[in-house]
Amino acid sequence: MNLPSMPPLRSAAKIGIVLGGFAIALAVALVAMGIRAGLNAADPSQGMQAFGDMVLGMVVFTVLALLPLGLGLYWLRAMPRFWTILVVIAASYALTGPPALLLSGSLRSFVGNWALLGDIRIGTMPLSTLTVATCALFAPSRRLRVILLCVAFLDGAIFAGVILLKFVLPAGR
- Residue-wise pLDDT tens digits, 95-144: 998 888 888 777 778 888 888 888 888 888 999 999 999 999 999 999 99
Q: What is the pTM of this model?
A: 0.79
Identify the pLDDT of residue 171: 67
The tens digit of pLDDT for each residue in 37-56 reads: 888 766 677 778 888 888 89
Q: How far apart are CA 51 and CA 71, in angstroms?
A: 31
Q: How far apart are CA 55 and CA 97, in angstroms?
A: 19
Identify the pLDDT of residue 54: 87
Nearest to 124 by CA among 103, 88, 96, 146: 96
